[in-house]
Amino acid sequence: MVEISAITFETYAAEARAEIEGALIRWTEFDADCPGKLREAIRHSLLAPCKRLRPLLVLMSAEACGYDRVRAMPAACAVEMIHTYSLIHDDLPAMDDDDLRRGQPTCHAQFDEATAILAGDALLTRAFEIMAKEISPPDVAARCCVELASAAGASGMVAGQVEDLAGETENGGLDALEAIHRRKTGAMFRVSLRLGAIVAQADSEQLDRLDSYGEKLGLAFQIVDDLLDVHGSETAMGKRTGKDSERGKLTFPRLLGLEASKFRARQLIDDALAEVNEFGPAAAHLESLARYVVDRNH
């Protein structure tokens, strides 16, 4: 395993985030037919300060397969658009009813509910438009569209959200909880890694390894997210904390306890690291990102 220093990784991540945000600005210019308020609502949520984990994963996956990260940017931005749409909709009164996200008022709190729903809808459709237009060759673009639709759709992230909403009143066990998060959070992590590998035209063994890294990382991320909801700072997180226990929600700390949850997250990260070991130095950023995910405070 090739370790790089935390400073080297932070410098890389800051540069890559700036590139991602530049592309997100460019791809949300829209034409003159887009109403000003809608464009403003989309950008309010999409360009707010945040970690950009999923687009970073797309770029790092492409790089691990020896590809130039700039060429993976359409897929990276598409994933971030879908993720942001899911956050906007998740924050609505009909779902989690939150007023704070990414350190600022949620989309419906800043604008209104109808505008927030429509901003989410527009981000969802823009994601596929960008991939279809900007990825080449066309068969790779089509494959990326199918992969992202399936990860985000009725058997992926949306299914996980349905189960999670139902789970607030149910008493499932660890397997049930992991199954929900494999779809709700894990599917978007996995597809980020897959898209990077697909645009890089990686072989099936590379694709499987990156997929498996994404699955383990996604679950570890969710465990840490649950832990931060218990003891994280609202200012650092940029969203309300303590809401899971307020609602009696099924979470990893509630099922396993704090220490066993931390242990499980670290175990998953070790397993994720083992998956990308074979890539050598090309996967150094994926390794640093996995460590960052468990050590983060936001």
Q: Which residues contact 83 (CB under 8 A, 6 or more apart)?
A: 54, 188
3-state SS class at 28 = coil
Say if CB 228 and CB 292 are below 8 A apart: no
3-state SS class at 238 = coil
DSSP string, 67-136: --GGGGHHHHHHHHHHHHHHHHHHTSTTTT--SEETTEE-HHHHS-HHHHHHHHHHHHHHHHHHHHHHSS
Nearest to ligand GRG of 67, 285 (CB atom): 285
Q: How crowded is residue 242: how many other Cβ atoms within 10 Å of its Cβ?
A: 12
What Cα–Cα distance (Å) separates residue 190 from each residue in 22, 176, 201, 208?
24, 19, 16, 10
Nearest to ligand GRG of 142, 236 (CB atom): 236
Nearest to ligand GRG of 13, 202 (CB atom): 13
Distance CA 239, CA 248 (A): 18
Residues of this chain that interact with ligand GRG (CB under 6 A) are 50-51, 53, 83, 86-87, 89-90, 102, 157-158, 161, 184-185, 222, 225
Nearest to ligand GRG of 106, 206 (CB atom): 106
Nearest to ligand GRG of 74, 120 (CB atom): 120
Cross-strand bridge partners of residue 100: 105
Nearest to ligand GRG of 67, 252 (CB atom): 252
Determine the distance from the C-alpha atom of residue 25 to the mean position of all C-alpha atoms in its chain, rounded to a whole number.
19
Nearest to ligand GRG of 211, 226 (CB atom): 226
Q: In the block, which residue shows the tokens 């704070």?
A: 100
DSSP assigned state of 249: -
